[in-house]
Structure 1
Amino acid sequence: MKQATFRRTLLAASVSALFAISTPIFAASNSTGGVKGHVTAADNTSLAGATIVIVNKENGATKTVTANENGNFRVPSLAIGEYKITISKPGYETQVVEAATVTIGNEVTIDTTMTSGDIERISVTGSRVAMVDTASPEIALSISASEIARLPISQDMTSVALLAPGTTKGDGAFGNRASFGGSSVAENSYIVNGVNITGFRNGLAIADIPFSAYEEFQVKTGGYSAQFGRSTGGVINAVTKSGGNEWKFEINGRWEPDALREDRPDVRYAIGNGTSIKPFDMYEDNSHDEVEKFEGELAISGPLIKDKLFIYGLIQPQSYKDRNASANGLTYTDRKIDDPLWLGRIDWQISEDHKLMVWGFSDAKDQENSTKAWVKGTASEKFSVLETGGTTWSVKYDGRFTDWLSMDALYAEVEFDSTQQSPEDASCPYIADYRSGAGVALGCWQTAQPTASSDKRKQYNMNFYVNYFDDHQIKLGVDYEDDSANEMKVYSGGVGYNYYFNDKDYKLDNDYVLDQAMEYVRVTNYTNGGTFSSASLAWFIEDTWSILPNLTARIGIRNESFENKNASDQTFIKIDNQWAPRLGLTWDVFDNGESKVFANFGRYHIPVATNTNIRLAGTELYTRDWYALDGVNADDTPILGAALGPQKVYGNGVAASPDEIVNSDIKPMYQDEYILGYQQNLDEDWAAGIKFTHRDLKSVIDDISIKAGLEAMGYDGSSDPFILSNPGKDATVYFDTDGDGTLEQIHISAEDLGFPEAVRKYSSVELTLNRRWNDDWMLNASYTWAHSYGNAEGYVKSDNGQDDAGLTTDWDYPYLMDGAYGNLPNDRRHTIKVFGAYQLTDNVTVGTNITAQSGRPKNALSYSTLPDDYPEEYQYGDTFYPFGVKCSRGCMGTEAWTFTVDANVTYNIDYWDDVNANVKLDVFNLFNAQTVTKTNEYLDEGGLTSPTYGLAEEFVAPRYVRVSFNVAF
């Protein structure tokens, strides 16, 4: 008769515990984890030849390795999940680890001591994922679907990212996006199952995957390895659920009723303008806002062939509708979305050492927009359809060839659509009347600028993992992205009409000065289209070197190249061999596995956004003419009078020669980062840490005017050419210096160009305290002091909500940067985050997510004014000279602190056997805080005080409720 004894160890004490919220990264891929270990005999000598069998408890996938001559073993590229690990050797007791939890990017360590004796005696232990990984120089927030289910957070990637220290919510003009470490919201990378789902046009789009399909998230706020690139912000890395050996079904539903949603406060003018605006007039009427959202889900998973072939599928029907009043309250816009999302995944365990994953999803949606007047007959209805999303699919292979060599390879295609069109686009010209102040839509047009846009990424990855040497774990790989963007944008009806009234001596944009007060019309012709391609190639190699038992170095190098082409398929910018060293060091201070000091240095590059191809290197026809307005026809089109000055040409419809528009000495946009930290286990479930981070954006790429430089060199400055360059640096470009039609190469110094050096710096100190879920509660708390300052926010511009990545107005003319140095828009000096959950009874769990944060900097901007004696002439844009007085960035202090509390309660229904069911109530912004998060920053418009200055433009989202149910069987 066989005998079995069960030995409870320190590790076994946490068999049922979930892994720590802050799980470090060590020698694993970006979508899997791994197991490593060391086998010793009772006398503490290494034991070679032990057999280690690792079995996935969900799908039966098995890996078998043998401990080498030093007793070491390692198995990389394991799918996340729970594993049973059996360690055996003839003549020794068999060791069985019943529950080892492998998480994304994490490597579980199993150190085992085997004693000689009866080989049938089985010792059962559990595995404990350490709160502090003393072998990793990195800390990232890792959180599983089960942990997220306990918390009251919105169902999107950004809300997960905002749980991490060092992240802040970005400007509302860019949607729901996060800033990492002071970077702009357009500089992050979003990866799912190894696939880059980040939009490459301007860095703001994220493919929309059904949230319940996610299995685990990892939020990298800095210090990440050489395997990750194309980001100067952060990385959100995730994996989806997969099928196993048991058939499972899930039915879920989430409802956010408008009846349980509060409204934002109304906003009224404090002062008027003496004509059309009076004090207490409505600036923003929010009393009619409505939002109603419902999502249902049906998921199925299981084995097509047990232990071999598995499927997972989810479909998410949804209904979203909202109503939002215009700023003046005269009209409202209804939006509606009812297209379902879906995701499917197939996993094939070809053999013990080879597997294949094929997966895909669709987030294609049609958003119907309908704008109407509150009073019937006062304005025509506007209707358009915005098509977004697309279909994504990928195939990934993982293979192990020996105990020390494995690899993975991936191919993916990702689609993004952003097409907005209306039935009247061909026949109805765009008309807007500004003669009385606020713009009034006239005519039958529906969409001002109908746009047909579609983007597609083809991604190729191959990585190798070499564990031949005990003290070195080597990763090397190559990845290539081929991006293609199609664009066609015109004005509705082929032309745009804007009606204005201005006083005598008002200067138009073509430098014509009105000789009397008059009404006039601006006529805009704009067409831009074509196919634009970009390519990005990178390779990396990285060695995690165990220098001493308590000292580990991670030494990596990444090499990146990118190329962008114009509408004529000519390369207009190409930068090769951007070297990005990544160096990390971790020291187990007391040599007991309970604490570590870690340090990192990393350089990170970001490619030129495809938006730059379209705008700067496209066949853009963009002209404006001004005429006296002699009357308006019955269809609201203008009766043109005398021309007011010459036509102004912004684009001539021909793709410019790359030599004319790009500084041939251009350097890549990159950032250096330095991190120093300490982390300490307090006990088995608690850990605390402190981390200092400094980031320095060393180079920016944007478009600049070289007019001042040409004039300083004695050339004709009547033209105003723009080039893509590094602001604050010298430029080499081709220009027709003598007017003979031939381009000559010229070198313009940074001093003559007149731009300051681009600066964005970020420093922070983070304090963290974490308790993992153990039996009945969990807690994650952090305080971050941070300072983001300089004159360059990055790829987008929060001051005016401009998402023109790489072509913001910031660097167009030197005067626009005079006063731009200060606290940047994503500067939040103090942030406190606390989230956690507590199980009140066997059936009831409560959760909370609390954030307290200081406000963003406030500016006083001017539109159209500079001091009378200023050396430059005003062209356009926002200056830091309201009423001719310099008020540098952030001069008006900061917005108020925000304090939000989200809470939930979950009731688990245990009435049916083999059925897991619960109902949940989430309340967001429990106390309905109505704090203003952004105010209007335009103090001076044309030398007059703007009545909108200081008025609220964004608030903390009002209180709303989500009711949900989940049934799994």
Structure 2
Amino acid sequence: MNRNLRRSALTVALGVCFASSGVHAQSTAGAVFGQATAGETVVVENPATGFRREITVTGDGTYRVPALSPGQYRITLQRADGTTAVREGVAVNVGTGTPVNFASAAGGSATTLDSVVVVGAQAVNPIDVSSVESTTILTAAQIAKIPVLRDATSVALLAPGTVRGDNAFGNLASFGGSSVAENQYYVNGFNVTNSFRGLNFSKIPFEAVAEQQIKTGGYGAEFGRSLGGVINQVTKRGTNEFEAGANVFWLPEGLREDVENTYYSNPLVPGDIGKLRQDNSKDSDGSYNTSVWAGGALIKDKLFAWGLLSYSNQEQDIYNSVVSRQNSTDKIDGPTWLLKVDWNINDSNKVEFTAFSDQQDTTSANYLNPLASLDRGALIGTSYLETGGENYIARYTGYLTDSFTLSALYGHSEFSRSRHLVTANGTRVEYGGDLHVPATGCPVITDVRPGYRTAITGVYASSCNITGTSIDRIDSGDTRDAWRIDGDWQIGDHQIGFGFDADDYESIAGQSIEGGRIWRYSTNNGPDGRANTGDEFDIVREQIVTQGSTVKVKQHAIYVEDNWNITDNFLAYIGARWDTFENLNGFGQTYVKIEDQFGPRLGFSWDVNGDSTLKLYGNAGRYALPLTPSVAVRGASASLFTRQNFRFAGVDPATGAPIGLNTPGALQYVNGEFGEPKNPATIAATNLDPMYQDEFILGFQKQITEHQSIGARGIYRKLKAAIDDNCDYNPIVEQAVADGFDPVLPGAGFPYCRMFNPGADSVFLTDLEDNGTLTEYTVQGDLLSPEAKRSYKSLELFWDGGWEKFFFQASYTLAWNKGNTEGGVKSDIGQADTSVTQDFDYKELAVDSYGYLPNDRRHSLKVFGNYQFNDEWSVGANVLVQSGRPINCLGVLYPYHGGIHPYGSSFFRCGTTEAGGRDGPAEAMPRGTAGRLPWTNSIDLNVAYFPSWATGLQFKMDIFNVFNNQKVTSVTEVAEDATTGAPLNTYLLPRTFQAPRQFRFMVQYDF
């Protein structure tokens, strides 16, 4: 066999493609394709399931079999003379095509590659000349060999172009500079994204994952409702061979290093620098997970089942900070399960059914402790949080002809977000969503006064508040009903895909502050505006937030796409998608409807040498994102949100609440009218566009040896329109007064905040005088805010290798993520109000807001792989080196109409003197110019042992962050007090560090 033939054999072994192989139906399956002599028969068989399909090679000498479940296949060519050629062990993976050729692309002999045996590949990211996407696929076997945490996000972070999002939003990834709220998640073709805020998703037990596909860009028209990335998982399934097993994963608390302590470090409060803020030495965190599974044929070659039951338990002791009077014990546990059933009705029809539950219960017991002590005292109360729920997915696939395949899917999911409390005396406290506050008698207390003032009254926190936050209404949860139909039709050189999907999502939501209100203590520096001169006085701000409703979003889309083989080695991709989004408030009224948003997709793939050793590719596309249902809970439904400042005479030592209130300030309404419903016609601009962006990718991949390939791609993403809310009514009021109206604020017809496209001219309908008459006003975009901007530029370099005993992947990403909005959420302050952040509430908030965004990581180096020493021992490694995120300095806007702007310390301004008696405004501190966090680096290692004396038994030990590097990964960026403008000692205080070193042990037995 000459070198060229050996190279071709490797190409096949790596799953490399050089003809059209696009796979539709949400990429739950793969395809096999190739060349042979026209008129001959190709038989595709899966020995494990008995699946069998015959097709005839077309007149141009090509064949293609789509919609194949991932697995190992036997491909047989039946020639006209009665002889056959067989390819054994052909690996089909999710979302890709595998080439199996019985003749050359140029029409050569049908025996050209007869001696080639196709084998499974170790390669992690093989060249695929049939695809214009940027995608990474990892199988369960590969994931098991890498020291990586067992969750979808941690696996996704192995792919180039992904970075970990801010801890304020949970364990989520940012793809290509987008916010963590802009991704989509699929299981067996069903969208499991929690669309309420886009900050969660239903999770299958990780042991049930067969393959995970990570789409970081360039995905086809069948995928939508995402500006970030797509995580697509397919589950394990039963075969003719019975299998069963069990395992236990254990992360012992005793082998986990302590998290670093935190200390004050704001140079503008020099007296507090170096003082201890948070002592983490007694915190603990340990967990385990155990699973049992079994699968096999209920009827050989026809009916299969695979099921898993898993139980996880995590216990944490959290002693909070030195300035708190509370600590807690958290327990997170619950059984989860999955069932997968496959029915091969016949060679032309099959049905799949998936059901799984990811419900978890979190029990948090809060205890008193002496101030500045880590001792544990009496129980205050217990919080019970329920999350997750059940999901059901049914899919039909019909191979209706040799060239036409049809699939249909229906899915239903339920997700709970319910919380209730039980006080120490056994009283149950819950919020029913009726706009009445749940009273535990203990408000939430926040104290931002400087140290010399807190000593006067001793206000640190409530000694009886259980959660320190809000309570979700007891029936909070989400329901999704979705269905889709996808077609795949091969017409000559064109592979046409088309489909329709509908996705209806309902959320029951609402929150109220435990104890009814938040009391926030701060210090006014008195007439001279200077600290600690004897004329200071304390003030306290009362905040009440109560809201609740049942809201919905209805969305549907159609798409069509064509993978066109213009020549034997040049593929053109043309796609289009039309999305419709409709949002309904708590009264079932539509307040936003965007119809037929057009999303074109174009791409090409050029197999330069015709042997899949060098690929040039590119794509361009437009992607749109719907408005999340969460917007309607406060912005378009009945709600109450008020703030008011007071002087006070003293403090209740038990609750921390002020007593002797006097001299109240003006009452402020923030997007609320004392619970009155809002007119849906006034909530959003009538000319609202969806949030959308354009993306451009150009890249290449080249095979450099029989076992290695390298590649590079450049990516450019630009946000074209954003949706957010604006709360500055002054431009409308000023115009209304000039027109002779008498505006009424607040009012059901004139909400403070309205949805709009920042920077664009907005057409609002407003009931100016609250008399039921709507007036249309067109407000110029520059009067409300500047244009929303976000761009992402990156260069990704990657190097893959796969040998019999060794595989690895290495990538380096150089990226710039810049703009004046992160997107759906706001990491600067941890704001999770998707699509209604404070970025554009007032025009002044956007001043100097353009710069490097929170997900900007200029440099990222990722290397992972595994080496198999022999049949008994292997080692794996995972290395990450990454530059730090930019830091902001957020302060007050002063002067503003004679005082401080009501949005407090939300502006890119940081003063060198304190507010009150300033000689001038604070200094500008544009976004990202306050420095950067340090580089981080971590090395994870594992070792696995497969004893020869016990077939099926295996042991594994993982060590995460071997050298226990704990660099700061986020800090507090608010530098000034919201009410007074005085510098805060908490500025630059670390919020999160790298996870400390910990060990994970696994024992597993398969039989």
Fold match, TM over 0.5? yes
Instruction: Find the aligned partners of 1:814 and 1:21 in 2 and give their Cα distance.
Output: 52
Please state how far the C-alpha of 1:241 moved relative to its aligned partner: 0.1
Instruction: Find the aligned partners of 2:69 and 2:155 in 1 and give their Cα distance.
Output: 21
Is 1:845 the counterpart of 2:864 in the alignment? no
- Corresponding residue for 1:878? 906
Instruction: Find the aligned partners of 1:154 and 1:358 in 2 and give their Cα distance.
Output: 28
Please state how far the C-alpha of 1:95 moved relative to its aligned partner: 0.6
SS of residue in 2 equivalent to 1:695: strand
- Corresponding residue for 1:931? 967
**Residue 33 of structure 1, aligned match among 17, 29, 42:** 29
Residues 857, 77 of structure 1: alpha-carbon distance in 2 compared, 3 angstrom cutoff: same
Please state how far the C-alpha of 1:74 moved relative to its aligned partner: 1.4
**Residue 471 of structure 2, aligned match among 450, 453, 477:** 450
Instruction: Find the aligned partners of 2:771 and 2:267 in 1 and give their Cα distance.
Output: 54
- Corresponding residue for 2:607? 588
Q: Identify unmatched segments of 5+ residues in structure 1.
A: 1-7, 41-45, 508-515
- Corresponding residue for 2:402? 403
- Corresponding residue for 1:857? 886
Please state how far the C-alpha of 1:238 moved relative to its aligned partner: 1.2
Deviations 1:45-75 (A, max 9, x none): x431x22221112211111212233332211
Deviations 1:69-128 (A, max 9, x none): 333221111100000111112414201111110000111111104999999xx9773268
- Corresponding residue for 1:140? 135
TM-score, normalising length: structure 1: 0.92
Q: Which moved more, 1:529-538 or 1:127-136?
A: 127-136
- Corresponding residue for 2:81? 91
Deviations 1:733-762 (A, max 9, x none): 122446755221111111322x11110000
Q: Could you tell me whether the CA contact under 8 Å between 1:25 and 1:140 is conserved in 2? A: no
Instruction: Find the aligned partners of 1:313 and 1:966 in 2 and give their Cα distance.
Output: 17
Please state how far the C-alpha of 1:33 moved relative to its aligned partner: 3.4
Q: Which moved more, 1:166-175 or 1:525-534?
A: 525-534
Q: Could you tell me whether the CA contact under 8 Å between 1:339 and 1:365 is conserved in 2? A: yes
Q: Which moved more, 1:701-710 or 1:458-467?
A: 701-710
Q: Could you tell me whether the CA contact under 8 Å between 2:905 and 2:981 is conserved in 1? A: no
Residues 198, 870 of structure 1: alpha-carbon distance in 2 compared, 3 angstrom cutoff: farther
- Corresponding residue for 2:919? none
1:590-629 correspondence runs (5 A) = 590-629=609-648
**Residue 100 of structure 2, aligned match among 95, 100, 110:** 110
- Corresponding residue for 1:952? 990
Please state how far the C-alpha of 1:610 moved relative to its aligned partner: 1.1
Instruction: Find the aligned partners of 1:482 and 1:869 in 2 and give their Cα distance.
Output: 46
Residues 492, 127 of structure 1: alpha-carbon distance in 2 compared, 3 angstrom cutoff: closer
Instruction: Find the aligned partners of 2:558 and 2:960 in 1 and give their Cα distance.
Output: 44
Instruction: Find the aligned partners of 2:163 and 2:724 in 1 and give their Cα distance.
Output: 24
Instruction: Find the aligned partners of 1:220 and 1:556 in 2 and give their Cα distance.
Output: 17
Q: Could you tell me whether the CA contact under 8 Å between 1:91 and 1:118 is conserved in 2? A: no
- Corresponding residue for 1:513? none
Q: Could you tell me whether the CA contact under 8 Å between 2:510 and 2:633 is conserved in 1? A: no
Q: Could you tell me whether the CA contact under 8 Å between 1:23 and 1:142 is conserved in 2? A: no
1:271-310 correspondence runs (5 A) = 278-310=272-304
- Corresponding residue for 1:662? 684
**Residue 486 of structure 2, aligned match among 457, 463, 467:** 463
- Amino acid corresponding to residue 591 of structure 2 in structure 1: F
Q: Which moved more, 1:809-818 or 1:937-946?
A: 937-946
- Corresponding residue for 1:216? 211
- Amino acid corresponding to residue 162 of structure 1 in structure 2: L
- Amino acid corresponding to residue 760 of structure 1 in structure 2: R
1:169-208 correspondence runs (5 A) = 169-208=164-203
SS of residue in 1 equivalent to 2:193: coil
Residues 55, 870 of structure 1: alpha-carbon distance in 2 compared, 3 angstrom cutoff: farther
Instruction: Find the aligned partners of 1:924 and 1:870 in 2 and give their Cα distance.
Output: 54
- Corresponding residue for 1:388? 387
- Corresponding residue for 1:745? 776
Instruction: Find the aligned partners of 1:113 and 1:217 in 2 and give their Cα distance.
Output: 32
Q: Could you tell me whether the CA contact under 8 Å between 1:430 and 1:491 is conserved in 2? A: no
Q: Could you tell me whether the CA contact under 8 Å between 2:181 and 2:824 is conserved in 1? A: yes
1:110-509 correspondence runs (5 A) = 110-113=100-103, 125-126=117-118, 131-270=126-265, 278-328=272-322, 330=324, 331-375=326-370, 381-424=380-423, 425=429, 426-433=438-445, 434=447, 437=454, 439-443=460-464, 448-452=469-473, 453-467=476-490, 469-494=491-516, 497=519, 502=524, 504=526
Deviations 1:380-405 (A, max 9, x none): 62420111001111111111111111
Instruction: Find the aligned partners of 2:759 and 2:439 in 1 and give their Cα distance.
Output: 46
- Amino acid corresponding to residue 477 of structure 2 in structure 1: S
- Corresponding residue for 1:511? none
- Amino acid corresponding to residue 299 of structure 2 in structure 1: I
- Corresponding residue for 1:43? none
Q: Could you tell me whether the CA contact under 8 Å between 1:360 and 1:393 is conserved in 2? A: yes
Q: Which moved more, 1:589-598 or 1:351-360?
A: 589-598
Residues 270, 444 of structure 1: alpha-carbon distance in 2 compared, 3 angstrom cutoff: closer
SS of residue in 1 equivalent to 2:196: coil
Instruction: Find the aligned partners of 1:634 and 1:955 in 2 and give their Cα distance.
Output: 34
Q: Could you tell me whether the CA contact under 8 Å between 1:31 and 1:239 is conserved in 2? A: no
- Corresponding residue for 1:890? 928
**Residue 787 of structure 2, aligned match among 757, 760, 764:** 757
SS of residue in 2 equivalent to 1:811: coil
- Amino acid corresponding to residue 296 of structure 1 in structure 2: T
- Amino acid corresponding to residue 723 of structure 1 in structure 2: R
Instruction: Find the aligned partners of 2:265 and 2:129 in 1 and give their Cα distance.
Output: 58
Instruction: Find the aligned partners of 1:369 and 1:357 in 2 and give their Cα distance.
Output: 39
Please state how far the C-alpha of 1:370 moved relative to its aligned partner: 1.6
Q: Could you tell me whether the CA contact under 8 Å between 1:21 and 1:141 is conserved in 2? A: no
Please state how far the C-alpha of 1:201 moved relative to its aligned partner: 1.0
Q: Could you tell me whether the CA contact under 8 Å between 1:708 and 1:752 is conserved in 2? A: no
Residues 12, 299 of structure 1: alpha-carbon distance in 2 compared, 3 angstrom cutoff: farther
Deviations 1:617-644 (A, max 9, x none): 1211233455554556687466554461
Residues 430, 502 of structure 1: alpha-carbon distance in 2 compared, 3 angstrom cutoff: farther
TM-score, normalising length: structure 2: 0.88
Residues 738, 250 of structure 1: alpha-carbon distance in 2 compared, 3 angstrom cutoff: closer
Deviations 1:281-333 (A, max 9, x none): 32121111211010011010011111111111111112111122213364322
Deviations 1:149-179 (A, max 9, x none): 1100000011111111111111111111111
CA RMSD for the aligned pairs? 3.1
Q: Which moved more, 1:779-788 or 1:487-496?
A: 487-496
Please state how far the C-alpha of 1:713 moved relative to its aligned partner: 2.6
- Corresponding residue for 2:70? 80
Instruction: Find the aligned partners of 1:74 and 1:533 in 2 and give their Cα distance.
Output: 41
The alignment covers a number of residue pairs equal to: 940
Residues 72, 804 of structure 1: alpha-carbon distance in 2 compared, 3 angstrom cutoff: same
Please state how far the C-alpha of 1:586 moved relative to its aligned partner: 1.2
Is 1:547 the counterpart of 2:532 in the alignment? no
Q: Could you tell me whether the CA contact under 8 Å between 1:391 and 1:415 is conserved in 2? A: yes
Q: Could you tell me whether the CA contact under 8 Å between 2:12 and 2:100 is conserved in 1? A: no
Please state how far the C-alpha of 1:353 moved relative to its aligned partner: 1.0
Residues 186, 431 of structure 1: alpha-carbon distance in 2 compared, 3 angstrom cutoff: same
Residues 111, 744 of structure 1: alpha-carbon distance in 2 compared, 3 angstrom cutoff: same
Instruction: Find the aligned partners of 1:416 and 1:679 in 2 and give their Cα distance.
Output: 42
Instruction: Find the aligned partners of 1:763 and 1:778 in 2 and give their Cα distance.
Output: 29
Is 1:647 the counterpart of 2:667 in the alignment? yes
Q: Could you tell me whether the CA contact under 8 Å between 2:744 and 2:769 is conserved in 1? A: no
- Amino acid corresponding to residue 747 of structure 1 in structure 2: T
- Corresponding residue for 2:916? none
Deviations 1:402-455 (A, max 9, x none): 111111111111222212220242541342443765641144655642212201
% of aligned pairs identical? 35
Instruction: Find the aligned partners of 1:163 and 1:892 in 2 and give their Cα distance.
Output: 29
Q: Which moved more, 1:597-606 or 1:69-78?
A: 69-78
- Amino acid corresponding to residue 410 of structure 1 in structure 2: L
Please state how far the C-alpha of 1:10 moved relative to its aligned partner: 3.8
- Amino acid corresponding to residue 724 of structure 1 in structure 2: M
Q: Identify unmatched segments of 5+ residues in structure 2.
A: 424-428, 430-437, 530-534, 747-751, 912-921
